[in-house]
Structure 1
Amino acid sequence: MTLGDDMARANFWVAIAVGCAALAPTWARAAAFDVNHATALYLAVLSPAARARSDAYFDGGLWLDAASTLITVLLCWVILRVGLLVSLRDAMRRRGWRPWVVMLAVAALFVLLLSLLQLPWSIYVDFLRERRFGLMNQTFGGWLGQQAIALALTLVAGSLVLTVINAVIRAFPRHWWLIGAGVVGVLAAFFSLITPVFIMPLFNTYTDLAPGPLRTRIVAMADANHIPTNHIVVFDASRQSDRISANVSGVGPTVQISLTDNLVNRTSLPEAAAVVGHEMGHYVLGHVWTGIAVITLLSAAQFWLLARWAPGVLAAGAWRRGVRGIDDPAALPVLVGLMSALTLLFLPLSNTSTRYTESAADAFGLNAAREPDGFALAAMKLSTYRKIAPPWWEEALFYDHPSGHTRVYRAMQWKKDHVPGAIEVVPAPLPDVKGR
């Protein structure tokens, strides 16, 4: 071994020592980043009063879901007992109307009656309660006007859907539940296609997002993930509420990246990019198709139970009101009432499926936008009307999105894993939302 070899070896170890010394501060900062503490700092942006208000809003909503189902069942019973559907059915049959026309007319009358009878409850749940918690910007007149639009849409779409399902029941009496579920899946895909272009503009005004840093950032993220950018729009959601949101909706030529004006005006660029990145995740990961598949499967299970329970309910007394079978147009109150109860029963499964896709979109958005702090702060702004830190079992059963705590924790974990020298951020407190 020569002196040159000794010097080379010494220089090698000196270089290693210098490199380790240079990296030591970075390692120390990364090791010092406490995910739990960083999460707690974000959770603290809501005051105790604001947190109590969001918890009360969410918990109350769970009871309202159950109450809404009970009210729907009771109203269906009232409609059945009054006998208007039977009278209309018999009158149209005596005049020789075709079965599908009779069904369409009876379905329209049923949808109209049920919607009008539900209106007082809807006024409380969807307007008065929202306003009391500070989540409603509309006047009662403005809200009622949009409810009228929604009723018109429901009257048309609901009547057609019920008529199609009735035709399936009559054509395939033994296996209608399976074919009917397929019909539901096809209709879900159809409405996914037309909603962004034809439905949503009925409620809000859409304009192109102005050139600027936010649009530039969105285009860059979309290009990186092969998302069409022909339609990047902002709509005036502030006329309804102060909630922040965005969506990437549509299929094929109707794909549209939509931002609420609240997101544009009430969040920073990192927050807005994080939210849009999440929505891009839904598009890239094909969650619209996942949702349609889940809807189809759940519909099949619910229809299967309906096919077995409805005849028993009819035999127990509905026949006394002139209803002769589940394919009878006048049987709609029985079928819809049972479906309402089954939907509530299946809610934990539906929530779990949706929460899974939301979690996947969260992960995608963090990688796409690389804004963990922006994502965490946006999640806390959403938590002004969502319970922040529920018990695990409550989140598993009743949440269709990850809780605020879960989302912030995952963002901070992503930050620790992907941001060299990650440091904690102490965000400013959020202003309290005052009820009205």
Structure 2
Amino acid sequence: MSKKMSIAALVLYVVYAVGMYFYIFHGPSGGVPATLKGTVADPETFMTERELYLSDDYSKIRNFLFFVITPFEWLVYLLILLTGISRIFEKWAETKWKLFKNGAYLFLLYLFTALIFYPIDIYRYQLSKEYGISTQDFSSWMRDYVIDFWVNFGTTLLLVLVLYWLIQKSAKKWWLYAWLLTIPFAIFMMYLQPVVIDPLYNEFTPLKDKQLEEKILKLANQADIPSEHVFEVNMSEKTNALNAYVTGIGDNSRIVLWDTTLNELTDEEILFIMAHEMGHYVEKHIYVGIASYLLSILVGLWLISKIMPWMVARFGKFLNIEKVGDIRSLPLFFVLVSFLLFISNPLSNYISRYQETRADEYAMELTGDAEAAVSTFQNLAKAGLSEVNPPWLVKIFRYTHPPMLERINTIARYTDNEEVETEKGNETE
């Protein structure tokens, strides 16, 4: 039966992958609406013919990889269970101390899956190099890859050890206790991120352009945002993409600009980006994000607490799982977490796109510079070879930000409304 289930899972995955291939590469593309042809939102007005070709090609490949890699992850974990590999890992990790056993099992599982996914990670790195997005040499990429492995393993180890201890202590309420512990852990990690984790990958220094820093801090003061320093990070050694962000909470919060952004954009464009990030602060999106994250974790853990025992009772014999508290059930837990995150993407992305739109509108209110806003979005699209108007399925599952077509239209609508208000004011006078 386990063999039949493995074959069925493989066939189902292949059928799904073929379907996604035809949807991505031969299905309807977003394109540019006829009413926007020739406008500032039309990529043909700001991209070269080669950039248009590369953007289309690169976007399709990345979209296809997104839709097939996550289900491939589920397939790998299911095959680890169905073929008995999980049980073998448990035997290899056997010790009289439960915590050491669970930790050793996780390491074997983590290393095994890392080796399976390594060729895919290499391909994605080479793809980014081929299309001119990545500038990172292989040794630097490999260094980041190893750091990623150990940072993620260390974090996962802590979570798994606590989780399975809770499951063994309280089979019915473990999900609630786990969620309660998630709250301080998540806040602690957000506090730690900018000062401990981020510097492992890149060097952060105070912004060297003091005149620009003064302009940014003046803008922050207009928005009533307490901020004393702006940081820049050396990303040009790794990428040609542009970015800026606000990270951390409390005393560890900081404004960060990639040096690629500093090198490629004008001061006006950078100020628009900074005003956008300040919009997130003013609109309190970080707190909404924390609340949404904690709520989703609560719902997810509760669902897993219901689904996992049912699956073990129904299919445990074929999955080589005797009870939920066995560490060999961990691949099933990972599958459920990944699946729930995947199907929740449309909702979480919708909320994120709404917040990004609000931040764009706030940036326009703060700067009033529509020309800089439009050119910023155009430059971001060119640097990242972004798809300005992706297909619907791609948009709802992948896009945390509105597509560039929508963002430029937001600016156009804003300026149109401003003109209407000005005309009304003139008529009243």
- TM-score, normalization by structure 2: 0.81
What per-residue deviation string (whole Å, max 9, x for no partner) do you get for residues 346-381 of structure 1? 211121121122112212222223322212112122
Task: Give the aligned partner of residue 104 of structure 2.
Answer: 105
Change (3 A) 1:100 1:226: farther
Distance 1:91 1:115 in 2: 18
Contact between 1:237 and 1:262, CA under 8 Å: does it hold in 2?
yes
Superposed, which structure 2 residues align to 1:328-407 within 5 Å?
A: 328-384=326-382, 385-390=385-390, 395-407=395-407
Change (3 A) 1:290 1:171: farther
Contact between 1:193 and 1:251, CA under 8 Å: does it hold in 2?
yes
Contact between 2:86 and 2:328, CA under 8 Å: does it hold in 1?
yes
State the one-letter code of the partner of 2:77.
C
Superposed, which structure 2 residues align to 1:132-171 within 5 Å?
A: 132-171=130-169
Contact between 1:273 and 1:371, CA under 8 Å: does it hold in 2?
no
State the one-letter code of the partner of 1:134.
G
Distance 1:368 1:218 in 2: 12
Aligned Cα root-mean-square deviation (Å): 2.8
State the SS of the aligned residue for 2:224: coil
Equivalent in 281, 305, 308 of residue 307 of structure 1: 305
Change (3 A) 1:180 1:373: farther
Contact between 1:313 and 1:334, CA under 8 Å: does it hold in 2?
no
State the SS of the aligned residue for 1:237: coil
Task: Give the aligned partner of residue 294 of structure 2.
Answer: 296
State the Cα distance separating 1:238 from its structure 2 match: 1.0
Task: Give the aligned partner of residue 27 of structure 1.
Answer: none
Contact between 2:243 and 2:261, CA under 8 Å: does it hold in 1?
yes
State the one-letter code of the partner of 2:57.
A
Please identify, of 43-52 and 355-364, the stretch whose mean Cα deviation from structure 2 is larger: 43-52
Question: Number of paired residues?
Answer: 386
State the SS of the aligned residue for 1:234: strand
Contact between 1:326 and 1:335, CA under 8 Å: does it hold in 2?
no
Task: Give the aligned partner of residue 177 of structure 1.
Answer: 175
Distance 2:96 2:393 in 1: 56
Equivalent in 264, 267, 276 of residue 266 of structure 1: 264
Answering whether residue 128 of structure 2 is matched by residue 130 of structure 1, we say yes
What per-residue deviation string (whole Å, max 9, x for no partner) do you get for residues 270-322 of structure 1? 11111111112222322222222222222233333323332343345444565
What per-residue deviation string (whole Å, max 9, x for no partner) do you get for residues 90-142 of structure 1? 5666x431x334333322332232223211111112x0221222211012222
State the Cα distance separating 1:154 from its structure 2 match: 0.9
Answering whether residue 412 of structure 2 is matched by residue 412 of structure 1, we say yes
State the Cα distance separating 1:71 from its structure 2 match: 2.0
Change (3 A) 1:214 1:38: farther
Change (3 A) 1:396 1:146: closer
Task: Give the aligned partner of residue 117 of structure 1.
Answer: 116
State the Cα distance separating 1:391 from its structure 2 match: 5.5
State the SS of the aligned residue for 1:248: strand
State the Cα distance separating 1:204 from its structure 2 match: 0.8
Equivalent in 186, 196, 202 of residue 198 of structure 1: 196
State the Cα distance separating 1:203 from its structure 2 match: 0.8
Contact between 1:355 and 1:401, CA under 8 Å: does it hold in 2?
yes
Task: Give the aligned partner of residue 50 of structure 1.
Answer: 51
Contact between 1:274 and 1:365, CA under 8 Å: does it hold in 2?
yes
State the one-letter code of the partner of 1:388.
V
Change (3 A) 1:43 1:295: farther
Task: Give the aligned partner of residue 257 of structure 1.
Answer: 255
Please identify, of 257-266 and 306-315, the stretch whose mean Cα deviation from structure 2 is larger: 306-315
Equivalent in 324, 327, 331 of residue 326 of structure 1: 324
State the one-letter code of the partner of 1:80.
L
Distance 1:349 1:102 in 2: 38
Contact between 1:181 and 1:297, CA under 8 Å: does it hold in 2?
no
Task: Give the aligned partner of residue 23 of structure 1.
Answer: none
Task: Give the aligned partner of residue 4 of structure 1.
Answer: none
Distance 1:239 1:134 in 2: 12
Superposed, which structure 2 residues align to 1:84-103 within 5 Å?
A: 85-87=86-88, 89=90, 95-97=95-97, 99-103=98-102
Contact between 1:66 and 1:344, CA under 8 Å: does it hold in 2?
no
Contact between 2:275 and 2:362, CA under 8 Å: does it hold in 1?
yes
State the Cα distance separating 1:408 from its structure 2 match: 0.8
Distance 1:48 1:316 in 2: 56
Distance 2:252 2:290 in 1: 17
**Which consecutive unaligned segments of at least 5 residues does structure 1 have?**
1-33, 423-436
State the one-letter code of the partner of 1:114.
T
Distance 2:249 2:263 in 1: 28
State the one-letter code of the partner of 1:63.
F
State the one-letter code of the partner of 1:113.
F
Task: Give the aligned partner of residue 31 of structure 1.
Answer: none
Change (3 A) 1:122 1:323: same
Contact between 2:233 and 2:259, CA under 8 Å: does it hold in 1?
yes
Task: Give the aligned partner of residue 12 of structure 2.
Answer: none
State the one-letter code of the partner of 2:111.
L
Contact between 2:388 and 2:405, CA under 8 Å: does it hold in 1?
yes
State the SS of the aligned residue for 2:245: strand
Contact between 1:107 and 1:163, CA under 8 Å: does it hold in 2?
no
**Which consecutive unaligned segments of at least 5 residues does structure 2 have?**
1-34, 423-429
Task: Give the aligned partner of residue 73 of structure 1.
Answer: 74
State the one-letter code of the partner of 2:399.
Y
State the one-letter code of the partner of 1:190.
F
State the one-letter code of the partner of 1:203.
Y
What per-residue deviation string (whole Å, max 9, x for no partner) do you get for residues 144-176 of structure 1? 111011111011111112222223333332233
State the SS of the aligned residue for 2:205: strand
Change (3 A) 1:316 1:124: farther
State the Cα distance separating 1:40 from its structure 2 match: 4.0
Q: Give 1 or 2 for the bigger CA radius of gyration.
A: 1
What per-residue deviation string (whole Å, max 9, x for no partner) do you get for residues 241-290 of structure 1? 11111111111110111100011111011111111111122223222222
Please identify, of 243-252 and 101-110, the stretch whose mean Cα deviation from structure 2 is larger: 101-110
Change (3 A) 1:323 1:394: closer
Change (3 A) 1:96 1:349: same
